Structure 1
Amino acid sequence: MATFNLTFSEAPTFILTGIPGLEHAHIWISIPFSISYIVVLLGNFTVLLVVGKEQTLHKPMYLLFCMLAITDIIITTSVIPKTLCIFWFNLKVITWGGCLTQAVFYTTLSLVQANVLLAMSFDRYIAICKPLRYNVILSHESIAKIGLVSLIRGLLFMLPLPLLLIRLPFCGNRIIAHTHCLPIAVAKISCGDYTLQSMYGVVIISVNVGLDLTLISLSYYQIIRELLRISSMKMHQKALNTCSSHISVLMLYYIPSFFAIMTPRFGQSIAPHIHVIMANLNILIPSMLNPIIYAVKTKELRDKVKEYIWRK
């Protein structure tokens, strides 16, 4: 059987199957997917518009949340429209360039999102432990630098990804049993050894998650220490309100991500459609709930969103 390497001069096309074993139910599955995607767009764009228009919300916490909203929009838009085209119109073909772009966008923006969540924990630490220096440390210039560093860090870690994918040989099998081009899903249809690709993914995930969770834990350790020194119940309640939304978003990001990333590598006994459904839920659920959590938990943002909706 002929073997070919992926190059842009002679790039093959791939076939995305959708959800393996559930092809007959694609139309019905598309209903919750499309509703969730609409909620993602409405919720995150509403937050961006409200924060952008309201001068009183031009604070570090809300600017960081806007970064989170932008990553949510881009990640879902890089994956879900193609998934819905598979469900609705059976458009399963994707070019090599499109597949590579989707894989790089998804993985890079996921890392950027993790960096923003880390920055948000630092924001909570400064707000509670060093409130008098809050505006000095987290100026608008500092927030812009955080956003740039988050993007650069994500790009640097993902830079080897397309190179590792391009070097893989493919022996005619172009069927990817997924709704989108996850790097590990593309690597698995290769007829070559993709151990390096798989190990690189595990190492990058372990290093990033380990470092980020360590720094986030240190931030909350300092926050708890500071709160134990303060006897004011009002201060405790305020800190709980501001931190609970961030902790909820952290759990929404890390818990589904852990299972979605590890099950394709180590969960061989799990049915293929479970892998695919979990990967899609990992994209949709956090992106859909993040703006809802912040709007409900943060009174200032909630009030401004209400005002904006009523004005419209």
Structure 2
Amino acid sequence: MDPPSFLYLLLFPAQKMMKVGKANNIYNRIQSLKRVWGDVDYAHSYRIALPQSEVFKLEKMLHFLLAKYQTGIDAGDGYTELFSIEALEPAIKHIHYVIEHGVINAQLLQGIEKPQLRPGKSAAHRHAEMKKRSDTMISNVVTVTEQFSRINRLLLILLFKQHRLRYQYDIEGNTILFRVADNRTDQRDVHKIMRMFSFFIEDFRYMGGTNYCSGVFGEGTVTQYNVELISGDPDAHPLVAYLASQTERLFNKLPSRSALLMEDLPILESSRILRSVLQSEDEA
């Protein structure tokens, strides 16, 4: 028994050409051809189902009749079966002619149907991984937004209660040197503020974290926070950069010295403080 097969007329729009060939599985054949010739126009290509022996004869007849439309390409998968796009109309006419005169008993159909692929275990695994990453991304967005909300609240407290607070800041390069004079500074508060400026982002293109509070130093009643301006970081994640741009607008409204402060707070030199700490440890 002669097994069934297909003759196809595949259109490659980007190359403006057509391939006339045969295959038992047209879709599988397309997957190998598109690696060389680009995407196929599935909707406007044609197929006809015939016994293999008849497919072979019809293919050879079309190659002979369409010889003047050959592209002249001399290399590549199936290159001898490539014709200019103008060959489509005469190819269809030739096929209809042999059908109408009873040479073959078949129907020329337009369109190549894509197989319905059932998701296997690997597809289910990929779906689960994508959902997990999506959930993580949304969680990160919420966390980062909440961090900037806390930073904004802190700035508003400084802005509207400066008559009750003693603070001062200077900007050196891209770093804000923010000093607070308070006898009751709690290390837990210090760690909270440091965490505010530590951002971790994971999305479909990026995963990483950055801490923009580069150091905290204390001497006497003065605590100094060194905070890097995010607007000066070209590698900042777009979400962090956008939220920071809005927060920096609020920061720009904050006076560099609180109304309660009667004299300047000294800028603490981290290297000098570190030497002092190390010296104290050596003496102990």
Higher alpha-carbon Rg: 2
Which structure shows the bigger proportion of residues in strand conformation?
A: 2
- Class of the TM-score when normalised by the shorter of the 2 chains: under 0.3
Which structure shows the bigger proportion of residues in helix conformation?
A: 1
TM-score normalized with structure 2 length: 0.24
* More contact order relative to length (CA 8 Å, sep ≥ 6): 1
TM-score normalized with structure 1 length: 0.22
